[in-house]
């Protein structure tokens, strides 16, 4: 086995940008605004924050501290920490990562296509059939596949360059750019006449819309957005210096991610309302591909300076997808490097091929393979469902049990306190430990059971 030393991130800012880049992704742009608007606005955000503090952030801290303590990828972590029988946790996490890469890279490919179309000013007509254009594009056998290969190739290219010169450097440029672009879109959206109604719909609390499903959605969103249970936080943790405060940087990542998601909501929902009112139609809210590739192009087409907003939006979408996919790819590549002891270059080639297999099936499942159904779902939706609801959840649950019930409390506190050197008060570390040991695993087990039963 390789020694504990490995290439590390160079700066605190770099670590934060890499973690935030992994967290901020398609989920922030196409799911969070929709969930917030449909589940009682600020009421949803409040529940989301409570669940972040009780469950998602403690789970993130767990993955992070285990990664830093073991300084290896998730499959070898239990070995390194003296519990080889727990190896199965890594298998769940790597399966999660491969499943997510399957559909994520395909959507990443679509963002490249829509970015190029917006640059070529193809979203100018408010009467165009954007739904028809989108379904024609995604169901074609070649173009989306070529875009997927290009998108995955970009990630592989960054990964070739390594931790500091690749991941860290790219994150330090991309994550702030993404922020600025989204803030600009939000400013355009709220200055449209009629945007205020949308802003109210997005943000004013309405507790009558809160149900058990709201809680499940809030917890599920927290998990997916922080990318828990796919080995990404663990691998980034393994590249982090030992004086980095794990608790602080986890909280900062979750806060930046939430802030970005709210700005994305402000960029999207008021624009939809404003344009619908201007056209005399009722605003339609969707989540997922329908929202970003169908509804929004027609909104941009009706908006003053819409061409520029469209370019900015698809640019943001592509960047958000890129930094998230980069972290998942790193989880897979580092796994190959640590297990086979191959060079990074070789591991990147292998990782690229491994990612393209499920991605090819996901892409074709929108067209020629659309009749292939498993559990009633096409391959794209199946991988989405299995990763988010089964593999990421179970890997996180096992990691929490591993940290809280198998590793020693002294070791956890030792890692959280940077071997006693961090200034975090002891009561905070003890509270984090209680959350890791009792509260977070119960929360995760509850969502999993609720999902299984309903």
Task: For ligand PFF, give the closer residue by CB, 230 or 285.
Answer: 230
Please report whether residue 28 would count as binding ligand PFF according to CB under 6 A: yes
CA-based nearest residue to 246, from 26, 69, 53, 87: 69
CA distance 262 to 56: 18
- Sort 250 into a burial class: Cβ within 10 Å, 0-12 / 13-18 / 19+: buried
Least distance to ligand PFF, CB of residue 312, Å:
19
Task: For ligand PFF, give the closer residue by CB, 249 or 417.
Answer: 249
x/- letters, 158..197, toward ligand PFF (CB under 6 A)? ----------------------------------------
Please report whether residue 249 would count as binding ligand PFF according to CB under 6 A: no
Please report whether residue 365 would count as binding ligand PFF according to CB under 6 A: no
Q: Where are the alpha helices (DSSP H) in 161-293?
A: 162, 169-190, 195-203, 212-226, 232-238, 246-279, 288-289
Two tokens, residue 422: 């961090």
- Among 25, 270, 297, 441, contact with ligand PFF (rule: CB under 6 A): 25
The span of 19-27, 78-86, 178-186, 353-361 binding ligand PFF (CB under 6 A) equals 19-27
Instruction: State phi, psi for 65 to the nearest 5 degrees.
Output: -70, -35
Please report whether residue 107 would count as binding ligand PFF according to CB under 6 A: no
Residue 25 DSSP class? S
The span of 23-31, 53-61, 346-354, 415-423 binding ligand PFF (CB under 6 A) equals 23-31
Q: Which of residues 322-341 bind ligand PFF (CB under 6 A)?
A: 324, 327-328
Please report whether residue 298 would count as binding ligand PFF according to CB under 6 A: no
The span of 299-307, 321-329, 342-350, 418-426 binding ligand PFF (CB under 6 A) equals 321-329
Least distance to ligand PFF, CB of residue 402, Å:
18
Residues 6+ apart with CB under 8 A from 100: 230, 328, 383, 387, 392
CA-based nearest residue to 317, from 332, 338, 297, 342: 297
User: How many chain residues touch ligand PFF (CB under 6 A)?
Assistant: 15
- CA geometry: angle 226, 227, 228, nearest 5 deg: 95
Residue number with the smallest Cβ distance to ligand PFF: 25
CA distance 269 to 38: 11
Please report whether residue 295 would count as binding ligand PFF according to CB under 6 A: no
Helix (H, G, I), strand (E, B) or coil at 43: helix
CA distance 164 to 112: 26
Least distance to ligand PFF, CB of residue 10, Å:
22
Q: Which of residues 208-237 bind ligand PFF (CB under 6 A)?
A: 224-225, 227, 230, 232
Task: For ligand PFF, give the closer residue by CB, 264 or 275.
Answer: 264
H/E segment holding residue 444: helix 440-453
Please report whether residue 22 would count as binding ligand PFF according to CB under 6 A: yes
**Residues at the contact surface with ligand PFF, assessed by CB under 6 A:** 22-23, 25-28, 100, 224-225, 227, 230, 232, 324, 327-328
């Amino acid at each position: 086995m390789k020694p504990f030393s490995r290439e590390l991130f160079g700066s605190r800012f770099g670590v934060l940008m890499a973690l935030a880049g992994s967290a901020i992704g398609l989920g922030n742009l196409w799911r969070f605004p929709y969930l917030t608007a449909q589940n009682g606005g600020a009421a949803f955000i409040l529940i989301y924050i409570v669940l972040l503090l009780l469950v998602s952030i403690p789970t993130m801290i767990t993955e992070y501290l285990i990664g830093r303590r073991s300084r290896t990828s998730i499959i070898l972590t239990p070995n390194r920490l003296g519990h080889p029988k727990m190896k199965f946790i890594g298998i769940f996490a790597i399966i999660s990562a491969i499943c997510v890469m399957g559909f994520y890279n395909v959507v990443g490919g679509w963002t490249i296509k829509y970015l190029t179309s917006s640059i070529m000013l193809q979203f100018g007509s408010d009467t165009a059939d954007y739904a028809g254009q989108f379904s024609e594009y995604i169901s074609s056998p070649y173009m989306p596949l070529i875009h997927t290969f290009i998108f995955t190739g970009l990630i592989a290219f960054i990964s070739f360059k390594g931790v500091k010169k690749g991941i860290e450097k790219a994150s330090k440029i991309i994550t702030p750019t993404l922020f600025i672009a989204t803030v600009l879109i939000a400013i355009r959206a709220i200055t449209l006449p009629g945007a205020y109604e949308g802003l109210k719909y997005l943000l004013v609390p309405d507790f009558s819309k809160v149900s058990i499903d709201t809680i499940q959605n809030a917890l599920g969103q927290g998990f997916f957005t922080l990318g828990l249970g796919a080995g990404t936080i663990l691998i980034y943790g393994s590249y982090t210096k030992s004086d980095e405060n794990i608790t602080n940087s986890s909280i900062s990542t979750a806060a930046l991610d939430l802030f970005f998601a709210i700005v994305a909501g402000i960029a999207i929902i008021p624009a939809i309302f404003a344009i619908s009112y201007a056209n005399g139609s009722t605003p339609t809210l969707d989540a997922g591909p329908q929202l970003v590739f169908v509804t929004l192009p027609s909104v941009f087409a009706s908006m003053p300076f819409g061409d520029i907003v469209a370019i900015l939006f698809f640019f943001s979408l592509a960047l958000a997808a890129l930094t998230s996919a980069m972290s998942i790819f790193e989880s897979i590549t580092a796994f190959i490097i640590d297990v086979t002891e191959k060079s990074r270059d070789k591991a990147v080639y292998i990782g690229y091929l491994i990612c393209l297999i499920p991605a090819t099936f996901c892409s074709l499942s929108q067209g020629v393979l659309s009749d292939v159904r498993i559990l009633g779902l096409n391959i794209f939706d199946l991988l989405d469902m299995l990763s988010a609801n089964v593999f990421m959840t179970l890997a996180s649950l096992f990691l929490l049990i591993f940290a809280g019930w198998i590793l020693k409390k002294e070791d956890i506190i030792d890692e959280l306190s940077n071997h006693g050197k961090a200034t975090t008060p002891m009561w905070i570390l003890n509270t984090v430990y209680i959350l890791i040991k009792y509260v977070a695993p119960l929360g995760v087990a509850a969502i999993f059971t609720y999902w299984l039963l309903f």
